[in-house]
Amino acid sequence: MITTSAQQLTAGQLTGQNTDHLVSHQQHLLHKDMQPAFAALQQAAQLAGFDLQLASAFRPFERQLIIWNNKFNGLRPLLDSNSQPLDASTLSELEKVEAILRWSALPGASRHHWGTDVDVYAKNCLPANTSLQLEPWEYQTNGHQAEFNQWLSAHMGKYGFYLPYAEDKGGVALEPWHISYHPISQTLQQQLTLDLLYHTLSENDVAGKSQILKNLDSLYTRFITNTCEV
């Protein structure tokens, strides 16, 4: 049973700036009260013939900030909803912010900060000499992760996991690899308030900050709380 205290995180923990709530798992960090459920899911996958591995787990604020700033400043590509490159020179600052948010969270607002949300794949389904891209086609019909994705969708709920981005609702794009531990993450999403996020962003050197803060209400509604139900 997950206790109420286990579901409460400090502001630093919620925004990826403190790791006291995490434990190590196969060279990654997970929420201490999610780790046993994830280990059980891994074991079940192994019995079904899938080597379920983590592509990404906890991600600190600093790492999310680098990803964000590199995308905004043109050091990493911006992608459209079909994972195709966008010409950033044709976009306004707000349009760049919205394009980034389709695939990458604001620093301080990533669900990966909590340790309850992870990106997964079946290592034994990945073809030789192929790098995982974490793009929807890999998990869809004829993709190398399609069979694993079918198994995951059918069984993860038994262990408390669900897909917060199971469909494209006009905010974050479809992410069939991103699973979340619902017993804890549902509460943490409520704790990540607009005020907390505004304060966190205000105190840090986030590219495009003026436009982000000016439009934070609508961005928060579209990209942070706009998730799929269990």
Are 28 and 116 in contact by the 8 Å Cβ rule? The answer is no
Asked whether residue 194 is domain-assigned, the answer is: no
Domain assignment of residue 195, yes or no: no
**Which amino acid, one-letter code, is at 179?**
I
pLDDT at residue 4 greater than cutoff 90: no
pLDDT digits (tens, 9 = 90+) for 85-122: 999 999 999 999 999 999 999 999 999 999 999 999 99
> Does position 59 have pLDDT exceeding 80, yes or no?
yes
**Domain residue limits at 160:** 20-185+209-224
Decide if 118 is inside a domain.
yes
**3-class secondary structure, 188:** helix
Confidence of residue 36 (pLDDT cuts 50, 70, 90): very high
Residue 48 lies in a domain: yes
Band the pLDDT of 6: cuts 50, 70, 90. Answer: low
133 inside domain = yes
Indicate left, alpha or beta for 181 from its phi (over 0: left) and psi (-120 to 50: alpha).
beta
> Does residue 161 fall inside a structural domain?
yes
Q: How many domains does the chain have?
A: 1
- 76 pLDDT higher than 60: yes
CATH number of the domain to which 26 belongs: 3.30.1380.10
Crossing angle of helices 61-72/93-101, nearest 10°? 130
* pTM of the entire predicted model: 0.95
E strand map for 148-187: 161-162, 178-181
What is the pLDDT at residue 2? 55
Assign 176 to helix, strand or coil.
Answer: coil
215 lies in a domain?
A: yes
DSSP states of 61-119: HHHHHHHHHHHHTTSS--B-TTS-B--GGGS-HHHHHHHHHTTSPPTTT-GGGGTSEEE
Q: Which of 18-22, 78-82, 191-195, 225-229 has the lowest mean pLDDT?
A: 78-82
State how beta strands 117-122 and 22-25 pair: unpaired
Residue 52 covered by a domain:
yes
In the prediction, which pLDDT does 160 show? 98
Rounded Cα–Cα distance for residues 76 and 27 (Å): 26
